[in-house]
Every structure is written in structure tokens, then in C-alpha cells.
Structure 1
Amino acid sequence: MGFETTRANQKGKEFRELPKETNANLSTRPKRSRRRQKKMSPVQRLFETCKEVFTNGETGFVPSSEDIERLRAVLDELKPEDVGLTPEMLYFRTQVALTTPKIRYLHLYESEKFSMGIFCLPPSGVLPLHNHPGMTVFSKLLFGTMHIKSYDWVADAPSNASTDVNPSETPAARLAKVKVDADFTAPCNTSILYPTDGGNMHCFTAVTACAVLDVLGPPYSDPDGRHCTYYLEFPFTKFSVDGVSVPEEEREGYAWLQEREKPEDLTVVGATYRGPKIVDL
């Protein structure tokens, strides 16, 4: 899951009044294209900025701090109406009959360098804990309230392979530190996670109906080793591992994460993006 003008200053030159333009003069001027005359839409501006920021995008690529702030600024200004969304749309209605609500995904754009898309979550909708290997991700909450919980791996911490979990049958759990565990209500700042920092594993839970726009650079790609992995969470006290100790008062800030298959109750349905058109020239 994120613009300059110059002026010529001719000091010291003698001022000379220019001849007034006539209709004949104007008629000989080349006409500007309609596209140049038309103001760029916010979503087109986002697209153009992403193209520049992720020009050299590959696994593990992190944009410069200047580019990160530039893309964040564009996303921070984005509004639901800029992408054709309102909270009253069918995507966001409460689904009483379903234990786990369906989530709609609106595909905006994808290339080898980056992707853009919007997750539409009804109340209680959940995107379970998952990772973003080798990616820099920008997430913009367009409207609603969402609970975000995210983790980063604890570097060099041993796994729980020595516990009662059989590593030959079940993946070993790894120690992770909580990065974020809070509710966010739009409008709020765009959140950013990095390949090894910022909460690379995260879970979204819709407190109210909400929409979140994700920019991923680069996008998921199984052939390139960027596969989406889901995780189970266990409290720190679940396992006792030699060489791993955390003060009792800090233990709530840590958890053991264990790889799992994609949750069977997770249903993400593709839907048609009906906002302003994105033009890729």
C-alpha cells in the first residue's frame, strides 16, 4: 500500500512592451489537448505519484523518505467520493445472516511495481492477521472506524521448536512484538509498514462499516517469493523457550505467531471499481 513551478527572472533587461494579441495571433497557436486542460483527478494523481515512487520497486525496496512523505500526502488528502464510494453502498451493509461478513475488493490497478485496491468491510468484517513479505504498504482509511493490530518479528529470537508443539507436523511459532493495537477513525493519517518494520504482519477488524485503500509496492507475487501468509496468535505465556525472557509488565506487548492455512471463513469477493477512470499512458 503514497508537483513544482518555476519562474524566469530577467533582471537588467530593458523593458519593452509586447504587441497586443489579436484574434489572428490566437488562431495560429497550437491547441492544448483536452487532457492537459482538464484538472487531474485525485485518484489519477495518486496513480501518477505511485508510478514515480515505485519506479525501481522490487522485493525489499523502500522508497526514499522524501518519496514516502510525498505519497503519504497524496493519500492523506484522498476522500471516499474521490474513488466513487459512500458508506450507504451495498458493500457496507450489516450482514446479519453471516457469521463472518463478506469483504469486497475493488481492484484499481496492478503492475510488477505496485498495486492499488480498496477493501470494503461491513461492520465486524475481518482481514485476519497476514504478512506483506518484501513490501512497503500504504493503507488509507477512507471512512469508518477500524481496529488495527500489527506485529514485527523479534530479530534473532529462537522459535518454540523445543515446546510441546511438534515441529514436524505444525509450524514452529516465532516471537513477535506488537507495533500497533488501536482503533482508528477516519479522517486519520495514512499508515505505512515496511518489509521488516512498521507492523509487517497486521489484522484489520471493522468496528463500523469502513473502506481502506491499500497501495502495495511491489505487489504480492508467488513466483517472486511474495506469498501472503496467515498467522495464529498465542500469548507470550503460552510457550516457554530457552533464551527468551520478557519482563512480566511488558508481556502483553509480545505474542507467538504461527503460520496457518488461509482461514476457511475468510471470503473476499472481487467487485467492479466505479470511481474516476485511471489512465495509464
Structure 2
Amino acid sequence: MGMEKVSGERKKRRMRQKKVTAVQKLYDTCTEVFADCGPGVIPNAEGIERLKDILNGMTEVDVGVRPNMPYFKLKEIGGFPKITYLHLCECDKFSIGIFLLPPSGVLPLHNHPQMTVFSKLLFGTMHIKAYDWVDDAALISTPKLDSSEGGVGVRLAKLKVNAEFTAPCNASILYPTDGGNMHCFTAMTSCAVLDVLGPPYCDPEGRHCQYYRTHPFMDLSETDDEKKIPEGEKIESYAWLEEIDKPKGLSVIGAMYSGPKIIEKLAF
């Protein structure tokens, strides 16, 4: 009986060891998928599908967040409801975090330089507007804003996404030059978004978060520019993006992540 009891305990211990949380599986997969990647380097198709499959199956329960958390009741200050960021992990290759947006919370239009980004809406309804740069923008005149507005140059972009998303829904992916690299999130209800960035932002390496203001295409375009839009496409699908400083009143507050723990690897 003594040997049987020991054997049963060993089985239970092995079963506990084999049980891997969804967030741990996400982290482990990221270490593999992003291992040979870097700035501007997109994971291979198999790696992208692996991460998509994991994220598509994840819910708020897997990361310990819920709509009734106090973060969703923060008062509006300076025009923007405060947004909370839960940091899960970060290394040279990737970062994982969760944005908690109260109703009407906005992450203004911003970029993800040289990054591949996976975003999973865990709960809530969110409007997403996203743009990509127009590669052949040189074919169209590049206007300058009036000096009273700073005289900053602007760049032509094409609208890629302009829609509302409600959880449960699949993860979205944006790439360094495609898929809506510049995007804006507007929370219609309380929302939680799980983000995987590869590689993460890094100011010393030039991957800093740049914000933009949009200008309607016709407002700044020359008379002949309309004729240069590809046939069959709408003028409303294009806009001029002007670089701006971080919007005043935008407040993203860091908070402690209290969901299932991630056991990080010391090196890749």
C-alpha cells in the first residue's frame, strides 16, 4: 500500500507539472516564434499561425482581468479617460501586455515601427481605425502645413481598417509595412486588449511611439492629386498623417498584473 501511495503522488505531481496555463503557453511560443526575428523581420507563416491559434482561444479568464475591475471606473481628466497598462513581460525580442480602456477611452493614432503586433480583444466593443503608408506617395505632391501650425511635413496613408469589433473575436495582426501599422483604438464599452509586440518599443534603437493627426485627403492635396488616386478607389480611403507630440491629456497608467504567473526564460 505504501508503494501504491507513493506512485499515486508521483502521478499527481507529474500531472500538475504538465498543466501549462494559456498565458505561459503564449510566452513560451513567443520565445520560439520571435527567436530569429528582429526589427522589421516578420515571423514565418507557421509561427504566425501558432500565435494566432493561441490568442484566438484566450479569454479574459486566462489573464485574470474582468469588466468590473476598478480600472474601468477612472474619472476623465483633460479630455481622455485614463487607460491602464498591465505589464506581463518584456525582453529584446518581444513584449506582452494588456491595455484596459474604460468606456470612451482612446489610444490615439500611433505607429509600431519595424514591429509585428498581435492584438486580441478579450472583452468589450472597440472601434479600430488603421492606416498604412502609401509606398508610391512620391507620385502625389507632399504638402506642407501652414507655418502657424508648425510647418510640419505630412505623409500620405491609406485606410486599412475602419470598423467596430466585439469580443469574442479573433486576434488581429499588423506588420511593419502592412495591415494597419498606424492605428487608433476607441472603446465603445469597457475593453481589455492583449498585445504582443515583436520587437518591443525601444527609444535608443529608434522604435519610439509616434502619434499622428489626420487631415482629409482633399484638404491638403493639389488640384491634380485626385487624378492620381488608383482607379476604382475612393478618395475617402486616403488621408494625410501629420506627426504630433503625445496628445495632451493622454494618460496611460501602469498597474500590477495579477493574473496567472509567467515563468520567464533567462536567455534565448
Question: Which residue of structure 2 lines up, in the alignment, with residue 66 of structure 1?
Answer: 46
CA contact (8 A) 1:163 1:241 kept: no
1:129 to 109, 112, 118: 109
* 1:232 and 2:213 matched: yes
Task: Decide whether aligned partners of structure 1 residues 167 and 55 sit closer, same or farther in structure 2, where only a CA change above 3 A counts.
Answer: farther
Specify the alignment match of 2:235 in structure 1.
251
In 2, Cα distance between the equivalents of 1:224 and 1:243?
39
Query: Which range moved further: 107-116 or 35-44?
Result: 35-44
Equivalent position SS for 1:134: coil
Task: Report the AA paired with residue 124 of structure 2.
Answer: G
Gaps of 5+ in 1: 1-21
* Cα distance, 1:206 vs structure 2: 0.1
SS at the partner of 2:100?
strand
Per the alignment, do residues 164 and 139 of structure 1 end up closer, same or farther by CA in structure 2, a change over 3 Å counting? closer
Query: Contact 2:131–2:160 at 8 Å: present in 1 too?
Result: yes
Counterpart CA distance in 2 for 1:181 and 1:213 is 20
Cα separation, 1, equivalents of 2:232 and 2:182: 24
The structure with the greater share of residues assigned to helix is 2
Among candidates 32, 37, 53, match of residue 33 of structure 2: 53
Q: Specify the code of the residue in structure 2 equivalent to 1:103.
A: I
Total equivalences in the alignment: 257
TM-score scaled to structure 2, two decimals? Answer: 0.88
CA distance in 2, matches of 1:136, 1:249: 27
- Is 1:196 the counterpart of 2:177? The answer is yes
| Amino acid paired to 2:259 | G
> Which residue matches 1:77?
57
Structure 2 spans left out of the alignment, 5+ residues: none
- Which of structures 1 and 2 has the bigger CA Rg? 1
- Asked whether the equivalents of residues 119 and 212 of structure 1 are also in contact (C-alpha less than 8 Å), the reply is yes
RMSD of aligned Cα (Å): 2.6
For 2:52, what is the secondary structure of its paired residue? helix
Report if aligned partners of 1:95, 1:122 keep a CA contact under 8 Å in 2: no
The corresponding residue for 1:264 is 248
After alignment, is 165-174 or 176-185 more displaced? 165-174
Q: CA deviation at 1:108?
A: 0.2
C-alpha change, 1:35 and 1:273, in structure 2 (3 Å) is: farther
> Could you tell me which of 118, 138, 162 is aligned with 1:181?
162
Which of structure 1's runs of 4+ aligned residues deviate more than 3 A?
30-36, 94-99, 158-169, 241-244
> Alignment partner of 1:183: what SS?
strand
